[in-house]
């Protein structure tokens, strides 16, 4: 896996692994840019769902998929099921997913 020090994603064989920082029980489902975490930069994701029985995790995957313009079935939780900082796997072409993430965040590679 490779990653840019300033990016919340890493390339993987299956696509990309994206680090997210989740705020459950929010007033809306939204991606709100980047946030610094002890694990490194993370995509800031707010969801209305409560963190009960995986509801917030499902909402995070759906929110990220909608924001990135990919199918919900390509986004899955890798780690952090009970933590605020999670890793999501996004299946697909890693280079084009990374480019799409950079575009959505207004970054330049």
pTM flag (> 0.75): yes
Place of tokens 């007033």: 27
Residue 107 pLDDT more than 70?
no
* 2-105 CATH, one of 3.30.300.30, 3.30.1200.10, 3.30.2130.10, 3.20.20.10: 3.30.1200.10
Closest CA to 45 of 53, 28, 108, 9: 28
Q: Is 35 strand, coil or helix?
A: strand
pLDDT in tens, 72-84: 999 999 999 999 9
Q: Are strands 15-23 and 40-46 parallel, antiparallel or unpaired?
A: parallel
HSE of 45, CA atoms in CB hemisphere, 13 A: 28
- Residue of 71 and 108 predicted with greater confidence: 71
pLDDT in tens, 16-58: 999 999 999 999 999 999 999 999 999 999 999 999 999 999 9
Q: What are the beta bridge partners of residue 103?
A: none
Domain ranges of the chain: 2-105
pLDDT in tens, 94-106: 999 999 999 999 8
Closest CA to 21 of 46, 4, 3: 46
Residue 109 pLDDT more than 50?
no
Residue ranges in the chain assigned as alpha helix (H): 55-68, 94-105
- Mean pLDDT, the chain, integer: 92
% of the chain surpassing 70 pLDDT: 93
């Amino acid at each position: 896996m490779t990653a840019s020090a300033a990016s919340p994603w890493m390339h993987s064989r299956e696509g990309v692994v994206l680090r997210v920082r989740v705020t459950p029980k929010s007033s809306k489902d939204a991606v709100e840019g980047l946030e610094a975490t002890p694990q490194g930069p993370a995509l800031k994701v707010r969801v209305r769902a409560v963190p009960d029985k995986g509801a917030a995790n499902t909402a995070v995957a759906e929110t990220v998929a909608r924001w990135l313009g990919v199918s919900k079935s390509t986004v899955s939780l890798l780690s952090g099921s009970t933590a605020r900082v999670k890793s999501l796997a996004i299946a697909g072409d890693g280079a084009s997913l990374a480019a799409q993430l950079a575009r959505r965040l207004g970054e330049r590679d």
